[in-house]
Every structure is written in C-alpha cells, then in structure tokens.
Amino acid sequence: MQKLFILVCCLLGSSWAMAQDNSVAINSGVRVVKDSRLDVLIKKQIYINTLAIRNQSGFRVQVISTNKRGDANEAKAKVMQLFSDYRTYLDYQAPYFKVRVGDFKTREEATELRDKLSDLFSGGVFVVPAIINVTLDKELSNEESN
C-alpha cells in the first residue's frame, strides 16, 4: 500500500513539474548574445571563400634542373638571398630537383625576372607554366589598380 501511495505521488508530482511553461516560451523569444567580432570574421571568411584564387595557372622562372639535391639547395639559397621579394620553390620530379621562382600571372612578368636571373645562372633560365599561389594581399592590390 505504501508503494502504491509513493507511485501515485510521483506521478502527480511529475505532471505538475514542467521544464517549461508553454505560455512563457511562446511570448519570450530566444536571445543570442555573441561577440561583435564574430560578424567581422564571418564576413572575412565569406570573402576569402568566394575569391577562389588560391591556385591559378600562371608562370614561374626555372633556375636549375639537376639530379643533385645539394646543387638545387645552393641555387635556391642564392636566389632567396638576392631576390627575397619572390617566393622560391624546390620541386622534385624524379629524378630531377627543380628550383623555380615567383608566382606570375603573365609570361611577360616572368620574363622580366628571367632576364635578371640569366646572368647569375649559366645552365639556362626558363619561364615555365605552373600552378601558382596567389596571396590575398596581391589580389587586392591588383583589384585596386584596375
């Protein structure tokens, strides 16, 4: 009998105890509190995602192609010291190590650097087509000049 009384009390108590009152939930909306800097970050990320300019076809200047890693590293270090404004890449395409410089959209831009580098490297300096990395700063400066 005592168990039955406890069971009935629990059932009545649970029906009265409600997590939310429907009338309060309908009348009061959800309030979101967030940092205002989140909006700035969201806009910036949307802009970056819509650019789709990270990898484009373009040109690089190939300084050396050799099967000796040491020679390739020396050539890369030399270019990095003398032309620190340009990114330098060491690519391996078996069995050759290739040192390439710059990220140029047009062949003419790459030709200017090739002319400067041809005096430093005797093996031949060539402009080669490549998939280039375009930075956001570079793209923004190009848009402002247009």
Exposure b/e, 1-15, CB count within 10 A at least 16 = b = eeeeeeeeeeeeeee
Q: What is the DSSP string of 38-70?
A: HHHHHHHHHHHHHH--SEEEEEEEEEEEES-HH
Domains in the chain, number: 1
CATH code for the domain in which residue 69 is found: 3.30.70.1070
- Higher-confidence residue of 36 and 60: namely 60
What pLDDT is attached to residue 52?
56
Position 10 in a domain? no
Each as own residue / partner, the long-range contacts of residues 63-68 (CB below 8 Å, 24 or more positions apart, any chain) are 63/99, 63/100, 63/101, 63/117, 63/121, 63/125, 64/97, 64/98, 64/99, 64/121, 64/123, 65/96, 65/97, 65/98, 65/123, 66/96, 66/97, 66/123, 67/95, 67/96, 67/97, 68/97
Residue 103, pLDDT above cutoff 60 = yes
Domain span at 64: 57-145
Mean pLDDT of the chain: 82
Position 23 in a domain? no
pLDDT digits (tens, 9 = 90+) for 66-88: 999 999 999 999 999 999 999 99
- Higher-confidence residue of 109 and 50: namely 109
What pLDDT is attached to residue 142?
58
Residue 93, pLDDT above cutoff 80 = yes
Determine the average pLDDT of the residues in 97-110: 94
Give the predicted TM-score (pTM) of the model.
Answer: 0.59
Q: Are 28 and 94 in contact (CB under 8 A)?
A: no
* Closest residue by Cα to residue 133 from 30, 33, 59, 45: 59
pLDDT digits (tens, 9 = 90+) for 4-19: 778 777 766 666 565 5
Residue 104's identity, in one-letter code, is F
Position 103 in a domain? yes
Position 75 in a domain? yes
Residue 25, pLDDT above cutoff 60 = no
pLDDT digits (tens, 9 = 90+) for 127-146: 999 999 876 555 555 555 55
